[in-house]
Chain A
Amino acid sequence: MRIEIDHSLTCSLPPGTAQLVMHLLLTPGSGPTQSVDSWSVEVAGIGNAGRFRDGFGNAAHLVNQSRPEGDLAIGVRGVVTTQDTNGVLGKPAGEPVAALYRRVTPLTKAPVTLYGKYRTTKESRLDVLHGLMARVGETLGLPAEPAPEAQMQATGEQVQSQKAEAAPELPPAADFVHLYIGAARALDIPARFVCGYLAPDDEIEGGLHAWAEAYDDGLGWIGFDPRYQLCPTERYVRLAVGLDAESALPLRTVPVGEVTQKARVTAA
């Protein structure tokens, strides 16, 4: 699937900022699930940026601006062709050892009630990972679904009130991912945070998104999206990975400012 991305970020800066330094993780890489056809990051100072791979294998930029005028504005545009691999990323080269992603961070802690039953399970790792995805959904909320007919017939009133609450605001995707990662790591399964783009379909709005990847010794990295309860499809574009949302943040700045961002993602 050919996906077009138009991602804009702004960051409000304290008045009188003399030096602005930023760390960008805004360049996706090509791999088993996607190939980047074209990509551009536009921001003052990008021309002579420091370019490097960070500790997680992401392509990163170190950009600085002297006496920036007004708010920081970054424009990211590109085209990525994706393919459906049933969520399997495999074992791409140039990545740190998977064990790194067993490190527990302050953002990735899960209650034992979530994963406890898998501690002694005989299920395969793949089944455990799917099971965890369901458990995270049960804990934080499941995506809105049209109520099944059988229920409709039961007690009309109850169903109606359920319908009125059918689409309560779910927590941000990152919360689902952190809980999922925390549970997987508690079971000694390497798991990581993925920041990326999601192309819309009839039910899903699309835009910037976050999901998880967990490691299976045989298959390698496999994506799990606990927010939408599915493994990534060809509508998913990977941008950056890390231990948690903080380490995969697309934009970090000094001085710190308030970042607002919007991504228009269109499937061609």
Chain B
Amino acid sequence: MGEKTPFDEMYNPDGSVREPYRALSEWLAEQPDKALALMQTDAEAIFRRLGITFAVYGSDEGTEKVIPFDVIPRIIAANEWRRLSKGIEQRVKALNAFLYDIYHRQEILKAGRVPEKLILNNEAFCPQMMGLEPAKGVYAHIIGVDIVRVGPDEFYVLEDNLRTPSGVSYMLEDREAMMLLAPDLFHRSKVAPVETYPENLRRTLESVAPDSVRGTPNIAVLTPGIYNSAYFEHSFLADQMGAQLCEGPDLFVDGGKVYMRTTTGPEQVDVIYRRIDDDYLDPLTFRPDSMLGVPGLFDAYRAGNVTLVNAPGTGIADDKAVYTYVPDIIEFYLGEKALLQNVPTYNCTDDDQRAWVLENIHDLVVKEVHGSGGYGMMVGPTATKAMHAEFRKKIEARPDNYIVQPTLNLSTCPTHISGDVAPRHVDLRPYVLVGDEVRITPGGLTRVALKKGSLVVNSSQGGGTKDTWVLED
């Protein structure tokens, strides 16, 4: 990690093409001048038509933007994917076991493997969840694991998103666009399908319906509304699954059960895929000022009359301070070594580590413990001296509020940059569904930093996306 040239996913150091990229390389060579630029224009039109937009908080220019899409797919070999998906499956199983334990007997805390205070005094820990038996024992049903690659066999997990990970609609739309834009390339390669995701999501949700449900469970997607940055995705997923899209006021509790108002009268809801944060879910139990949630929803959940997906309180397992313990968590519950590595993380509350961090901040990445989406973070090598000074102050003031990691030299993929092809840094967010079984969609969302040399892939910070192809044997 560090100063070396980044790992190029397409070319070997000697300039030869890596095997998974062979078909792509041939196809690129065949393309006439300006073909990529034309494809890029077409892609823009497709995305405008599909209406895929996202909101950037704190930006003045319009609320909605089209997320930049790169027309060159990222390619992952079958054997690479097998390794990755095994590691991901191990991780999500262990994290769900951890959540069960934390909200029951807390054996891992008694054993001293994870510090008790880190969990019990954590804002993300939800005491109201104690003792609850979720259907199939699953807390986090929908997970997005952020992974970066730094070498041919070196993958690191950056973070586990167990609250309400977004972006899966981009994965699906990127594939749809790619098949329209380059059908010939698509047919030359055996690409694992991603379009089964909505069906698998539906199956997963149905499998965790309360035991009392007879027949097909009634599923609703609960959105905070049109002003949420991921509203498009909420309506897209509801539509794809054939589920109802609801806002808080569309739902109500009666007799301990949850109902949806419909034109033909109230309809009981069995499973709610909620895209509202814990705090806003139910003003009776959580923030009383929430206008987004459903009063009594949590109690109906506790009474076993509805399933909330993901369960409240899952955030304790993807807390950045808990992240450093995930390898221990895997060993504790599964008795196995972690297959995927964590990024080494410095603990700023330790005096020696903090001193070292403050001195080397220009080489390091600083993240807010409770931040997400690239907000409140600093990438040392590309940040200004003023920013280094600012973050030094921040860390000194509240060392427990930050985690610090080395700057990872993210792998690069060929990317279309104004008519040319150039390497750009990428990461990967595979989407995992956990219900009666673990279902991992091959590939996931590849985010690409479009600025030369940039390592920040977040769409809110000038990142784009790519279609991700997992090749089948």
Residues in A lying within 8 Å of B, measured CB to CB: 19, 21-23, 48-57, 60, 62, 64, 66, 96-97, 99-100, 102-104, 243, 247, 252-254, 256
Contact = CB atoms under 8 A, between A and B. Distances in A.
Name, among B106, B252, B254, B299, the residue most crowded by chain A CB atoms within 10 Å (CB to CB): B299
B296 A100 contact: no
A51 B303 CA distance: 6
A23 B256 contact: no
Contact of A100 (B117, B127, B255, B284): B127
A57 B120 contact: no
Interface in B109-128: 109-110, 116-117, 120-121, 125, 127-128
Given A50-B299, A55-B129, A21 B284 contact: yes
B63 to A, nearest CB: 30
Contacts of A254: 283-284, 288, 295-296
6 contacts: A23-B284, A50-B257, A51-B256, A51-B303, A53-B302, A54-B128
- Give chain B's interface secondary structure class: loop
B252 A60 contact: no
B253 interface: yes
B130 A99 contact: no
Contact of B131 (A51, A57, A60, A252): A57
Contacts of A256: 288
Contacts, number: 93
Interface in B233-255: 252-255
Nearest to B289: A256
A97 B103 CA distance: 9
B288 A53 contact: no
Contacts of B131: 53, 55, 57, 96
Contact of B125 (A50, A97, A103): A103
B135 to A, nearest CB: 15
Given A19-B295, A60-B299, A97 B105 contact: yes
Contacts of A22: 284
A106 to B, nearest CB: 11
Contacts of A64: 252-255, 296
A19 to B, nearest CB: 6
A96 B127 CA distance: 10
Contacts of A104: 121
A103 B121 contact: yes
B109 to A, nearest CB: 7
A97 B303 contact: no
Closest 8 CB pairs of A and B: A50-B256, A48-B255, A62-B299, A254-B295, A55-B130, A50-B303, A52-B303, A21-B295
A74 to B, nearest CB: 16
Contact of A50 (B106, B117, B285, B300): B300
A60 B104 CA distance: 19
B305 interface: yes
B116 A62 contact: no
Contacts of A54: 128, 302
B180 interface: no
A96 B116 CA distance: 15
A252 B286 CA distance: 11
